[in-house]
Chains A and B, each alone.
Chain A
Amino acid sequence: MTEILTPDLDERFRAAAAAEGLLDVAYDVFDDTAMGPLLVGVTDRGLCRISFDPEPERELELLARAYGPRVLRSSHPVDRVHRELDEYLEGNRRAFDLELDLRGQPDFYLRVLAELARVGYGETTTYGTLAARAGNPKAARAVGTVMNRNPVPIVLPCHRVVGANGSLTGYGGGLHRKEQLLRLEGAIL
């Protein structure tokens, strides 16, 4: 049938849209990772979103609201994130070399996330310690909220933050994923 839109033509448009710099957010869903499907979004400034169990419709609305309505699936702009995530999840990468776009995050969140970024591979820290490093030792609970709303889990390693008594406490993507990541890094056996 001559009037069928081929996947090739569809992909060509998506690539051209990104190449011409017309997108507020380019995203893709990686179905094949060890963590299950991951939705990843990037802007021209950097990585802005990693989402577990993505419901694309809801996710796209949130991205449009935060960054602008020109949100389109386009695989090329997220290639590098895809590659680094694969390497990390296969145990072949210990740190990410990616720009982040954390536009719109409140100051306190940015301070906490900046401290979080310094917690290294295979280490763990506590909510209270992170709160103190971000300048507010009493804000352990608020740090928990920041972790829960982390826009780019895995890359900003909120899985490395545990309770004062060593319990895993909670994780936005589900406790089993936190355990899986800490096991991968050798932080727990």
Chain B
Amino acid sequence: MAVAVPPFETFYDTHKTEVFRFLVSRIGREGAEDAFQETFLRALRAYHGLEHGDHLRAWALTIANRIVLDGRRRQRPQGEMPDLVTEDGRPAYEELAPLTDELPAKERAAVVLRYGYDLGYDEIGAALGSTESAARQAASAGVRRLRADKKEQKQ
């Protein structure tokens, strides 16, 4: 059997800490515990279908992000705005998280992975199951939408 990806243990051990921190930063410790397990179970279900082992970090974070969004969709009544908290000295992804909640899922993932996690567009494209140029477009569409939202809020 050709080995396209590393053994799951290696993947899990490499990314578990960062994924957990990401989840805590998004939804707090309590929610992060369930979301953590769900993230890696979802990764495990898809793992043997992966064609290569590149961009696994982006892939893991994207799954975690989707779990968070799925949870929000179930819980939050539509139209409610997230709390816009900013605090000095927090990592970039924490700053970005609440700001980007209202973006369409793909744009949000592209913006967070690009500006919060500093991933390249090639990695983001792979993580989102599309191409580098589609990832670039999604990120810039997301940024344009954030700017437009911000203007609207000021007016």
Q: Which residues of A contact B (CB under 8 A)?
A: 2-3, 5, 9-10, 12-13, 16-17, 20, 22-24, 57, 60-61, 63-66, 68-73
Contact = CB atoms under 8 A, between A and B. Distances in A.
11 contacts: A3-B20, A3-B24, A3-B25, A5-B17, A5-B20, A12-B37, A23-B8, A24-B48, A63-B7, A70-B8, A72-B12
Interface of B: 1, 3-10, 12, 16-17, 20-21, 24-25, 29, 33, 36-37, 40-41, 44-45, 47-48
B44 A70 contact: yes
B44 A22 contact: yes
A9 B9 contact: no
B33 A69 contact: no
Given A60-B9, A70-B44, A5 B16 contact: yes
Nearest to A63: B7
Given A2-B24, A60-B7, A69-B7, A17 B1 contact: no
Contacts of B47: 69-70
Contacts of A64: 3, 6-7
Contact of B1 (A23, A57, A60, A65): A65
Contacts of A3: 20-21, 24-25, 29
Nearest to A70: B8
